[in-house]
Structure 1
Amino acid sequence: MVRTSINNSAGVRAIDLFCGAGGSSWGAKLAGAEVVAGFDKWDIAGDAYSANFPDAWFFEGRLEDWTNRQLRSEIKDINLLIASPECTNHSPAKGNSPRCEKSKETAFHVIRFAKVFEPRWIIVENVVNMRNWSRYDEFLDDLIGLGYHVSPQVLDSSLFGVPQTRRRLFLLCDREREPASITSNFAFPIPASSIIVKNSEYRFTPLRQPGRADATLARAERAMDVVGTKRPFLIVYYGSDHAGGWQRLTRPLRTITTLDRFAYVKVKKAQHFMRMLQVPELKAAMGMPMKFSVKTSSRRDSIKLLGNAVCPPVMRAAVRGLTRQA
């Protein structure tokens, strides 16, 4: 557990379960909440979270490692509980193995923490496929049984000023009234071209060079069949949406995952060159400011932090929409 001083200013006090680097916490802070603690079992996430929120507690370890008495003693009262339970095992491809079911059931820690702290508001964020989980209705019933009005809403980050298409389920919970629908004032999505760092020192290599995978070249050919040979585009790896393995730069970036999956292809002197998108570009595609830290000892871990994160502008809208009814 890492702690520095906590500012006990008036207003909404929040904690963040499964916080990662703190995307949800950053959004809550932008909405005016005071985030007093984050919880995660990954030490690398803890380092990033503490860098982003030096005035908050960070509890490292499994949530079941902390007793109710410890939690109440250290954190005191809160108004808002935010949680992003483990989500990767809600994919249909993962199946229903005992290990996968245990991962999905981390959501029930929300119920325990709600009983311990009795916050007025709860926001649970997860992949849309959480609705297909066999215990989803039971989870909702438990929240309702604690006295919460629960409003499941699917929000797309591209509608909240984020240059990425990222659809996520938000369970908005309020003890006192029915949560309002979360809306956005952004009329037009921001394109992926906005995140590309131009004239940088990032190293490009020729698209067509010895050793380049045939699948990569096939993706590029499909892109050029549509956009022509003079326009830049993105190659997309590990896709499951049958979109041909590429995308235009005029549209928001497709969903960032924990895998390194986006390559930028540009044209120079009638020759195509490519490079992978870099961490600062992916951070921008999450709607995070440059000062938001996902610094780790490896690119792979930084991308994992981003792929697991919540886009701060979306969480800001969710927190504002929920708490403004107070």
Structure 2
Amino acid sequence: MITFVDLFCGGGLGARGAVTAGARPILAVDAWDIATTTYKSNFPSAEVLCSPIEQIDPRGFAGKHRPDVLLTSPECTSHSIARGAKPGCEQSKETAIGIIPWIEAMEPRWLIVENVNRMKKWGRHNELVSTIESYGYTVNDLFLNAADFGVPQSRKRMFLICDRQGSVISREHLISLHKREVKPAHSVIDWSGKYKSRPLYAENRAQATIERAERAIKKLGRKKDFIIVYYGSDYGGGWQSLDIPLRTVTTLDRFGLVTWKDNTPYLRMLQPPELLKAMGVGSKHELPHGNRRDKIKLCGNGVCSPVMEMIFKKIILIESKEMGLAS
């Protein structure tokens, strides 16, 4: 079985995809205790450490853990457009450089680096790629949208998929491995009535929220459900249809569902189980720790499971073919 070490592991959403493909996590590291306890709850056989990776000497684990894959999702806050006009923190960005000692110590055949695509504008991005290549890796630099993998969310991310044996992997290779149709935002909603709404025109409702909703109503007409989108670039007018994939899930509470009772619009925020579904995670994965805000953050920091599933399926397929040739 393919094994992996998971750096910046979060709540294990990416790991869930890897496990679904047939891989096994042996070590996971994250600096946030809610993330590590969530990971441990979902993957109890893995060793899980709560620490910044730069405060750990990976040589101490090299004899114990020799993974096939080093899976990394460095902190993306200072690369992401979701941070708005706030100045980027170079220390946050340089967490990506912190993976190099782990490569040296563990010598995995495969290395995966996931981040927002704007990471390519970082001044040290090319340095990171050339350093990875100096260790003998062929770097496949891919731009993947989770919606292309049957995830009910438009989430575009950079993936560096690196192999010491020189494998060439393309976006088309990965998409061809799955037979999933595009899923709309409608599919993540819990329509049972479990989560209560308030009238849109309730007292103390922010005027900006009213304006977003009224733009949607003007476009769609009355008695048509839709989603209000808070934060981030407002190219969509602050709302979106339920007939297309959800816009990117972030660490903030950004999606409000507008539904109708007779001719009156009601509003509620999407809840963590719905956001987890928007990340493509199946019913096996749970978020048993933390408050509502923590669970939203776990989703926003995560990697969509089906995307990672297809990456690991491709890795397993390549290695299986090599073993077949060798035999």
* TM-score, normalised with respect to structure 1: 0.92
* Counterpart residue type for residue 136 of structure 1: H
Structure 1 counterpart of 2:212 = 219
Structure 1 counterpart of 2:106 = 117
- Quick check: 2:27–2:65 contact (8 Å CA) kept in 1? no
1:20 is the counterpart of 2:10: yes
The CA distance in 1 between the partners of 2:160 and 2:59, in whole Å, is 27
The CA distance in 2 between the partners of 1:206 and 1:179, in whole Å, is 53
**By how many angstroms is 1:320 displaced?**
1.6
Distance 1:225 1:126, change over 3 A: same
Structure 2 counterpart of 1:5 = none
SS of 1:89 mapped into structure 2: coil
Distance 1:186 1:55, change over 3 A: same
* Counterpart residue type for residue 65 of structure 1: Q
* Counterpart residue type for residue 271 of structure 2: Q
SS of 1:295 mapped into structure 2: coil
Distance 1:289 1:188, change over 3 A: closer
Structure 2 counterpart of 1:165 = 154
Aligned counterpart in structure 2 of residue 249 of structure 1, from 242, 245, 248: 242
- Quick check: 2:216–2:226 contact (8 Å CA) kept in 1? yes
Q: Which runs of 5+ in 2 are unaligned?
A: 320-327
Q: Which runs of 5+ in 1 are unaligned?
A: 1-10
Aligned counterpart in structure 2 of residue 60 of structure 1, from 50, 56, 59: 50
SS of 2:35 mapped into structure 1: helix
1:228-247 correspondence runs (5 A): 228-247=221-240
Structure 2 counterpart of 1:198 = 191
* Counterpart residue type for residue 44 of structure 1: I
* Counterpart residue type for residue 243 of structure 1: G
Distance 1:186 1:227, change over 3 A: farther
Structure 1 counterpart of 2:306 = 313
The CA distance in 2 between the partners of 1:116 and 1:297, in whole Å, is 33
- Quick check: 1:172–1:322 contact (8 Å CA) kept in 2? no
Structure 1 counterpart of 2:130 = 141
**Identity over the aligned pairs, expressed in percent?**
43
The CA distance in 2 between the partners of 1:84 and 1:146, in whole Å, is 19
Aligned counterpart in structure 2 of residue 127 of structure 1, from 101, 116, 121: 116
Structure 1 counterpart of 2:29 = 39
Structure 1 counterpart of 2:97 = 108
Distance 1:272 1:18, change over 3 A: same
SS of 2:232 mapped into structure 1: coil
**By how many angstroms is 1:298 displaced?**
1.3
1:260 is the counterpart of 2:253: yes
- Quick check: 2:9–2:30 contact (8 Å CA) kept in 1? yes
* Counterpart residue type for residue 160 of structure 2: L
* TM-score, normalised with respect to structure 2: 0.92
The CA distance in 2 between the partners of 1:163 and 1:55, in whole Å, is 30
The CA distance in 2 between the partners of 1:62 and 1:187, in whole Å, is 36
* Counterpart residue type for residue 105 of structure 2: V
- Quick check: 1:239–1:245 contact (8 Å CA) kept in 2? no
Distance 1:193 1:120, change over 3 A: same
- Describe the superposition over 1:272-306 as per-residue Cα deviations: whole angstroms up to 9, x where unpaired: 11100011111100001233122333111110011
Distance 1:305 1:175, change over 3 A: same
